[in-house]
């Protein structure tokens, strides 16, 4: 038939322009199933509370999309063709499964997830791991919380080894993720006791007198600090470097150098500082943001709940201690 031929041609055109598109949606399948079962457009329209013309148009569009006749209009009452009977069987199964999704999702809000894997940046891991462990018992049967470098958390999240990352890398280059900004903090100087009462706002002069203790270039901190110094056109020799704040702080406390750190890093290692002290990083400043990143829609409201919990902990527990230790910091620590 000429009509069938035109449908075949149209389908070929559709396939060349969009090979990924499905030739139907669930609403169209619902309409077709109603027509097949009611044996007529008018009865199906009444059941679906649609107009007869709308039902007829949707079925015609399905036939065009599949390039095959689905309803035999030459018989009374109307009946599905061979292809239509096959579609009716498969569509009925699809619709049954789709209808089960709604109650399952609604019920899941009160059910525990089988497992939640969370990666937490080192400077927040100590105190937050215990808080998360207590607060998330009601949400999951199994909880895994790991520390480590930001790059490792990024890879683990993308490989589905982690569900959530609390990190300095918001993964803005990756689609399909939800991001919740937690805090912004200024970088500061950590200086040995021998620098008390001296001019410390010239980094070139400071590095000429004492070596800079670096964060490893494998870490987000190290990369951010290196880029900052490069922008200032400061060529500071790479001496000792450490993955962890503990190693950096211990070296500065021993008088072996100075470092660029953040307030949260200092709180994480405050017991190791000894006679070392903190001071503002000279202008222009440097900041980092910590965010909670999760795969979109997979965990319901759990990421949003954890983000709100983290902000509350940062505001109530961290911010007062940072203000006490660094009264000059002003707006250098802002919970979002």
pLDDT in tens, 251-300: 999 999 999 999 999 998 889 999 999 999 998 899 999 999 998 877 77
Mean pLDDT for the chain overall:
86
pLDDT in tens, 176-222: 889 999 999 999 999 999 999 999 999 999 999 999 999 998 888 99
Q: How far apart are CA 263 and CA 191, in angstroms?
A: 14
Domain ranges of the chain: 2-108, 113-182+289-326, 188-285
Cβ neighbours for 218, distance < 8 A, ≥ 6 positions apart:
149, 151, 243
The per-residue DSSP string of 153-168 comes to HHHHHHTTS-SEEEES
Report which of residues 258 and 20 the model is more confident about.
258
Confirm or reject CATH 1.10.10.10 for domain 2-108, answering yes or no.
yes
The DSSP bridge partners found for residue 289 are 184
Give the architecture-level CATH label for domain 188-285.
3-Layer(aba) Sandwich (3.40)
pLDDT at position 7 over 50: no
pLDDT at position 6 over 50: no
Q: How confident is the model at residue 110, as a pLDDT?
A: 60
Q: How far apart are CA 290 and CA 252, in angstroms?
A: 25
pLDDT in tens, 130-165: 899 898 888 888 999 999 888 888 888 887 889 999
Mention the CATH class of domain 113-182+289-326.
alpha beta
Q: How far apart are CA 267 and CA 183, in angstroms?
A: 15
The per-residue DSSP string of 21-80 comes to --S--HHHHHHHHHHHHHTSHHHHHHHHT--HHHHHHHHHHHHHHHTS--EETTSSS-EE
- Domain 188-285 in the same topology as domain 113-182+289-326: yes
Q: How confident is the model at residue 161, as a pLDDT?
A: 87
Residue 93 burial class via C-beta count within 10 angstroms: exposed 0-12, middle 13-18, buried 19 and up: exposed
């Amino acid at each position: 038939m000429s009509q069938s031929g035109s449908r075949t041609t149209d389908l070929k055109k559709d396939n060349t322009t969009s090979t990924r598109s499905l030739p139907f949606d669930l609403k169209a399948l619902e309409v077709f199933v109603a027509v097949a079962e009611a044996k007529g457009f008018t009865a199906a329209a009444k059941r679906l509370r649609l107009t007869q013309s709308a039902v007829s148009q949707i079925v015609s569009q399905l036939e065009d999309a599949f390039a095959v006749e689905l309803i035999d209009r030459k018989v009374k009452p109307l009946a599905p063709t061979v292809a239509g009977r096959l579609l009716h069987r498969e569509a009925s199964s699809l619709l049954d499964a789709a209808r089960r999704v709604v109650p399952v999702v609604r019920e899941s809000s009160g059910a525990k997830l089988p497992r939640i894997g969370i990666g937490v940046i080192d400077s927040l891991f100590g105190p937050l791991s215990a808080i998360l462990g207590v607060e998330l018992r009601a949400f999951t049967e199994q909880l895994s919380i790991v520390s480590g470098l930001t790059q490792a958390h990024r890879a683990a999240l993308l490989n589905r080894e982690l569900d959530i990352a609390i990190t300095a890398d918001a993964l803005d280059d990756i689609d399909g993720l939800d991001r919740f900004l937690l805090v912004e903090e200024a970088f500061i100087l950590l200086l040995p006791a021998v620098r008390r009462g001296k001019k410390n706002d010239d980094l070139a002069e400071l590095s000429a007198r004492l070596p800079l203790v670096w964060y490893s270039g494998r870490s987000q901190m190290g990369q951010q600090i290196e880029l900052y110094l490069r922008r200032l056109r400061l060529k500071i020799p790479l001496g000792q470097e450490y993955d962890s704040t503990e190693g950096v702080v211990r070296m500065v406390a021993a008088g072996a150098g100075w470092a660029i750190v953040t307030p949260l890093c200092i709180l994480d290692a405050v017991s190791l500082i000894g006679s070392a002290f903190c001071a503002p990083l000279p202008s222009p400043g440097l900041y980092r943001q910590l965010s909670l990143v999760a795969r979109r829609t997979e965990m319901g409201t759990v990421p949003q709940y954890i983000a709100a919990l983290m902000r509350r902990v940062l505001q109530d527990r961290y911010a007062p201690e940072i203000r006490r230790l660094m009264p000059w910091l002003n707006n250098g620590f802002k919970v979002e």
